[in-house]
Amino acid sequence: MTGTTETAYAKVNLALHVRRRRPDGYHDIESLFAFCEDGDGLTARRRDDGAILLRIEGPFTEGLEAGEGNLVVRAARALQAATGAGWGADLLLTKNVPVASGIGGGSADAAAALRLLDRLWETRLGEEQLIALGDPLGSDVPACVASRTLVGTGRGDALRFVAGDDLAGMPILLVNPGAAVATGPVFGAWDGVDRGALNAVDWRAGRNDLADPAMRLAPMIGAVLDALAALPGIDVARMSGSGATCFALFAGERARDEAQAVIRAAHPDWWTMASRLR
Ligand SMILES: C[C@@](CO)(OP(=O)(O)O)[C@H](O)COP(=O)(O)OP(=O)(O)OC[C@H]1O[C@@H](n2ccc(N)nc2=O)[C@H](O)[C@@H]1O
Ligand SMILES: Nc1ncnc2c1ncn2[C@@H]1O[C@H](COP(=O)(O)OP(=O)(O)O)[C@@H](O)[C@H]1O
């Protein structure tokens, strides 16, 4: 489909500290978010009749509905409602990254839809208002609207932008063993122990506090982390979000590509994506 396009940049939690369980069922977290140059693709063509019609293609369409429940459609409806825009859209989502995998999936798609339709419909809300519009769609959506390095606190939606110059361009490898892990149950399996605040500068010394609970639900994550830790040329390896995707950062693209080849040869059924941080 020809039209206006946008990338739903894959999200990575370089560190994710869970600080406390809240009475509203959410958890206060502190996370350093970064974004890959690659992700799902979204294309849109404007319609005059106000209808929002979504088609999904690509390697990860299974189990995904293209109806009103899809986060892309919900984002489009939210923008229509907030602006009174009478336009609709034909949307094509190319689902390149696995669903429910800790790298933003639906949240990044919703954020991409907001950015794309704000351009296509010329509603011109701009980043700050799109962030506010994305907030009710999911804790991760505000960060994904910005899609640049930032610290998220609260349920992940209170954003503080940080200089990401040292991270931009960094080669990254994402690896998922094929286990879909829903976010709610992983937070639910957290042991309730506050292990301390995140230092966003010294994030390598930080943690992903959801890794242990996620591994209890999907033990294969442990195998992924072991495989990544054994790779030569690795800077840091950690699980992203609520899993099961794990990432490794490398000093150079060659080390990353060699690492991808090693992982693919040993685990042909695992999903991998080589990218760079943006
Ligand atoms: C864990 C993170 C880290 O970036 O990413 P993913 O693993 O989803 O990629 C996010 O906090 C996920 O954000 P998002 O996927 O938008 O979650 P939401 O739809 O808001 O919430 C889904 C469920 O997760 C739990 N949840 C989510 C966020 C949070 N701070 N505390 C929670 O306890 C709640 O049980 C909630 O009902
Ligand atoms: N466009 C979309 N892409 C992926 N998932 C979507 C989309 N729209 C709705 N969803 C739903 O959102 C859920 C993924 O949410 P979540 O577990 O938070 O994923 P992630 O960990 O990748 O952020 C899936 O259960 C899926 O049904």
| Ligand 1 lining (C-beta closer than 6 Å) | 13, 16, 25-27, 29, 31, 102, 104, 107, 138-140, 155-156, 183-184, 187, 241-242
CA 234 to chain centre: 22
pLDDT at 251 over 90: yes
Measured distance between the N- and C-terminal CA atoms of the chain, rounded to whole angstroms = 26
Q: Where are the domains of the chain?
A: 4-161, 171-276
Q: What is the DSSP letter of 157?
A: T
Given this model, what pLDDT does residue 64 score? Answer: 96
Indicate if the alpha-carbon torsion angle 98, 101, 103, 106 is positive or negative: positive
Going by C-beta distance under 8 Å and a sequence separation of 6 or more, which residues neighbour residue 206?
14, 15, 17, 32, 198, 199
Closest CA to 164 of 248, 278, 256, 249: 278
Q: Distance of CA 163 to CAs 150, 201, 254, Å?
A: 8, 10, 26
- DSSP-assigned states of every residue in 73-86: HHHHHHHHHHHT--
Given this model, what pLDDT does residue 16 score? Answer: 98
Given this model, what pLDDT does residue 164 score? Answer: 84
pLDDT at 203 over 90: yes
Given this model, what pLDDT does residue 55 score? Answer: 98
Given this model, what pLDDT does residue 150 score? Answer: 98
- For 4-161, CATH number out of 3.40.50.970, 3.30.230.10, 3.40.50.300, 3.40.50.720 equals 3.30.230.10
132-185 residue pLDDT tens: 999 999 999 999 999 999 999 999 999 999 998 899 999 999 999 999 899 999
* 3/22 Cα distance (integer angstroms): 43
pLDDT at 1 over 90: no
Percent of residues, the chain, with pLDDT higher than 70: 100
Whole-complex ipTM: 0.96
The answer as to CATH 3.40.640.10 being correct for domain 171-276 is: no
Is 158 annotated among the ligand-binding residues? no
54-78 residue pLDDT tens: 999 999 999 999 999 999 999 999 9
- Of 16, 33, 183, 191, the one to substitute when testing ligand 1's pocket (max ligand atoms within 8 A of C-beta) is 183
Query: Phi/psi of residue 94, each to 5°?
Result: -100, 105
Q: How many CB atoms lie within 10 A of CB 220?
A: 17
Q: Are strands 52-57 and 88-94 parallel, antiparallel or unpaired?
A: parallel
Question: Phi-psi bin for 137: left (phi > 0), alpha (psi -120 to 50), beta?
Answer: alpha
